[in-house]
Amino acid sequence: MSEIRCDGGRAAVIGGGPAGLMAAEVLASAGVAVDVYDAMPSVGRKFLMAGKSGLNLTHAEPFADFATRYGARRDWVEPWLAEFGADALRGWALGLGIETFVGSSGRVFPNEMKAAPLLRAWVHRLRAAGVRFHMRHRWLGWRNGEELLFATPSGTKKVGASGTAVILALGGGSWPKLGSDGAWVPWLGERGVSVAPLRPANCGFDVQWSEHFRNKFAGQPLKSVVATFGAQSRQGDFVVTEHGVEGSLIYTFSAALCDAIEATGGATLALDLAPGRSIQRLTEEIAHPRGSRSMASHLQGRVGIAGVKAGLLREFTVKDDYADPARLAAAIKALPLRLVAPRPLAEAISSAGGVARDAFDERLMLRDLPGVFCAGEMLDWAAPTGGYLLTACFASGHAAGKGALAWLRPGS
């Protein structure tokens, strides 16, 4: 077993995603010697995956609306965003030479739509600031309460952490192949840190499809529908899968849906398949004489219900509904989609749960482990996709970096 010694005043960042790298940048820019450790061959693996189909960096909606996306954790997350929110994130990206634009939905993307150029420029700047990267270093917890243990290709290494600020940015439990495997949960538990169980967030859900529907429509997108759950309604798109449903519109509701399923064993999402048409207008259109046309042709021609929408309508109505225009119109405007379970955590875009809020002080330092800070998805908060999740990861890293700096330099 070899040993790497860190002199007093150093910072060890464990986890090379956006939260960890942002903490490293805050510290390095203040002249702190920073070492970044990551289990993967290169940093930002999940970040790159998030940008594979277009990096949604943040969102351009007003701050007050933006902050509501964090639900019950809003009052915890909002101060991070006040220090480093959407505008600051766009300015930071511009400082790396990455210009951004606001899409029609309010989402913010790099002009090139890719994560790789931003990550390359960022790592280059961090290296220039003196940050040292240690790849293929998988954290194994502590040894004797003081030393950090890492599994590396050349064997186990220990890092002396006395006088060193340690920032844990290890991610949640989603995408384990990219490093976010939740292996850290028992190690913090052993040190007395309160951790809420990890569970899926921004995830798909299982639906008990008929065999006919599954075989015919799995993989097809459902465009421009309004989903309602409780008091929340959103318009957007999602995809029918072999097991159920997934996609951006579903992810918007995932936290509330998971809570409902955990509490009652299921959750029903109401789908409006014809946004913009009143139930009265739909009833009149359906009641219009159809002559020799089939009901399928009639619905397609009069109200635009065809393909997967027509399949869903058949899936969740009975034959008698088609003989009653009012009942069929009501089903089109509020089709009950029963969800029975979230998809497994490893399939989720992100995870909920993590280190409990009351485990931290106001600097994101663990109360029971002085000098140890946490950032990113390993904290017990959640947010929908649309730039909200990624922005808060950056913001929490910024907050943890500032907290670690204050701990290293008290009174400065």
* Span 149-168, pLDDT tens digits: 999 999 999 998 888 999 99
CATH assignment, 2-199+352-408: 3.50.50.60
Q: Where are the domains of the chain?
A: 2-199+352-408, 205-342
Asked which of 122-131, 172-181, 247-256 is least confident by mean pLDDT, the reply is 172-181
pLDDT > 90: percent of the chain: 81
Mean pLDDT value of segment 75-97: 97
Which residue shows structure tokens 């790159």?
A: 48
For 93-128, write each residue's pLDDT tens digit.
999 999 999 998 899 999 999 999 999 999 999 999
Contact between 178 and 38 under an 8 Å Cβ cutoff? The reply is no
What is the maximum span of the chain, computed from C-alpha positions, in angstroms? 86
Q: Which residues of 77-90 are buried (b: 16+ CB within 10 A; e: fewer)?
A: bbebbeebbbebbb
Hey, which bits of 70-208 come out as E strands?
100-102, 107-110, 132-134, 138-143, 147-152, 155-160, 165-168, 195-201, 205-206
The token pair that represents 218 in the structure block:
């799995």
Give the residue from 167, 168, 173 showing the smallest Cα distance to 197.
173
What pLDDT band is residue 4 in, cutting at 50, 70 and 90? Answer: very low
3-state secondary structure of 159: strand
Q: What is the pLDDT, as a whole number, of residue 2?
A: 40
Could you give the 3-state DSSP secondary structure of residue 373?
strand
Tokens, residue 287: 């009641």
Q: Is 365 exposed, middle or buried (0-12, 13-18, 19+ CB in 10 A)?
A: buried
Question: Cα 191–197–200 angle (5° rounding)?
Answer: 140
Instruction: For residue 93, give the nearest of 403, 400, 391, 396 by alpha carbon.
Output: 391
> Number of H helices and number of E strands within the chain?
15, 21
Which residues lie closer than 8 Å to 354 by C-beta, 6 or more apart? 172, 195, 196, 198, 377, 378, 379, 380, 381
Mean pLDDT across the stretch 59-65? 95
Which backbone phi and psi does 256 adopt, to 5 degrees?
-65, -40
Task: Name all contacts of 96-102 with Cβ < 8 Å and 24+ positions apart.
Answer: 96/121, 96/122, 96/125, 97/121, 100/57, 102/60
Percentage of the chain exceeding pLDDT 70: 98
